Amino acid sequence: MMAGGVRLSHVGIAVPDLEAAMAHFAARLGVAPGPVRVNEAQGVRLVQFDLGNACVELLSPLTDQSPVAAFLARNPRGGLHHLALGSADLDADLGAHEAAGVRVLGPPGVNVFGKRMAFLHPADMLGVLIELEGD
Ligand code: CO
């Protein structure tokens, strides 16, 4: 249950080569990418394509210690990595999920867009890593 409703923010795709993936997606989607951003805390470089109703986010590891590096070790060609849902009340929603037994991966952080966010454990969410992103 999400207190203020739920919306799709973005779909995250892990890629081994960010520049090559950006060029490919820009050509195939006909949409210009936003700027490449670095999230030191999560050890990723990322770029988003704004499709209007939601974004596609391409991410690649900054370091070998990045969780995305571990994902790419299992999926060398990349693939769907996470689904990000917009939350109107992040703390209330995280509390409700935790109360229902869904594990929240660490305390909320701040993403490169300045929004507070936290991940829900994929094993508790149909096998999908879910990012909850505050407004
Ligand atoms: Co994301």
Dump pLDDT digits (tens) for 47-87: 999 999 999 999 999 999 999 999 999 999 999 999 999 99
122 Cα to the center of ligand 1, angstroms: 14
29: alpha, beta or left, given left = phi > 0 and alpha = psi -120 to 50? alpha
Q: Which of 19, 57, 131, 133 is catalytic?
A: 131
Q: What is the phi/psi pair of residue 13, to 5°?
A: -120, 125
pLDDT band at 1 (very low <50, low <70, confident <90, very high): low
Q: Which residues pair with 56 in a beta bridge?
A: 11, 49
Dump pLDDT digits (tens) for 94-130: 999 999 999 999 999 999 889 999 999 999 999 999 9
12 Cα to the center of ligand 1, angstroms: 5
Task: Give the span between the Cα atoms of 83 and 63, in whole angstroms.
Answer: 22
**Known catalytic residue at 57:** no
Beta-carbon count within 10 A of 44 CB: 25
pLDDT for res 135: 85
pLDDT for res 41: 83
State pTM to two decimals: 0.93
